[in-house]
Amino acid sequence: MNVDIQAINARIEEESAFVETIIENVGKVIVGQTYMVERLLIGLLSDGHILLEGVPGLAKTMTVKTLSDAVKTGFQRIQFTPDLLPADIIGTMIYDQKSGGFSVKKGPVFSNLVLADEINRSPAKVQSALLEAMQERQVTIGDQTFPLPAPFLVLATQNPIEQEGTYPLPEAQVDRFMLKISVTYPDRDEELEIMRRMTRAEVPTIKAVVTPAQIEKAKRIVHDVYIDPKVENYIVDIVFATRKPQAYGFDDLSELISFGASPRASIYLSKAAKAHAFLRRRGYVTPEDVRAIGLDVLRHRVLVTYEAEAEEITSEDVVRKVLNRIEVP
């Protein structure tokens, strides 16, 4: 197995150079936010959709747009509003008077990177228009089904502080996202640099530095990253501890958890951990990779009880307790 890992390490060393190029180029526009940029790359490398949550003005939309500029792929931004219709996203059938028949007009979802901006501004029927695209990577219009291009990634943003005029995402929709990223404020030095950059006569821009073929090749290498059975069992233990905390001796958590993480959590933890190892130029997954990505994979999959809410205990608090208590192999 050592020989295999060495071979994977060599391939990663050769094929992961573009990661630094992307981060360096994105850094020309975006100040700081390394955590957000890395998580976007993890989603890109492991075919995982991402939900970005944060207050307005934290460069969520700009970061996604800048990443799309760095990769030579198609990009579509959909502004979600209360009057948006499913057909505005996936497309519809249009009657052609000349031919006397119907033709398909594809919607903006037929792209590589799709930014669903302020996704919670639209009602559930519009949000659900993305479900088939996100899960099956295909879209059905009328009686025809069309595959989506590769890579295909939905990056959605939402504002956690506004309640008026918003429609919370249903659990089934939220579960389709591999990661939920909590975007925070920059520090003082970063904010000073942001102010200086954005008040100049010319706002910085970047050119495409990576091709879809390079991304697809890297994804195949990420798939081959070695994960030891002990680490696999560690992942499953973490997920099961959110469902059956008593079985792991976490009696105090049983009254706080309403629903534990779904099997998607185990799949996404494994995939994201592999991508995290790839970004660190390693051909194998360590428990630290799992811990680094665990909160992002689980924070939107563990639902807390009314008792927990009354005590102001969030799902993040519960996930942190699980991650800190499960024995690391």
pLDDT 10s digits, 8-35: 777 887 777 778 888 888 888 878 778 8
Domain with CATH 3.40.50.300 in the chain: 19-210
d(CA 40, CA 66): 11
pLDDT of res. 163: 65
Domain 225-325: CATH architecture, name and number where available: Orthogonal Bundle (1.10)
pLDDT of res. 266: 94
Angle between helices 17-26 and 60-70 (to 10 degrees): 130
**What number of CA atoms fall less than 13 Å from residue 46's CA on the CB side?**
30
Confidence band, pLDDT 50/70/90 cuts, at residue 272: very high
pLDDT tens-digit readout, 45-96: 898 899 988 877 777 888 888 888 888 888 889 998 888 888 889 888 888 7
CATH code of domain 19-210: 3.40.50.300
Residue owning tokens 């992002």? 296
How many other C-beta atoms are found inside a 10 Å radius of the C-beta of residue 219?
17
pLDDT tens-digit readout, 209-251: 888 888 888 888 888 888 889 999 999 999 999 988 888 888 8
Domain with CATH 1.10.8.80 in the chain: 225-325
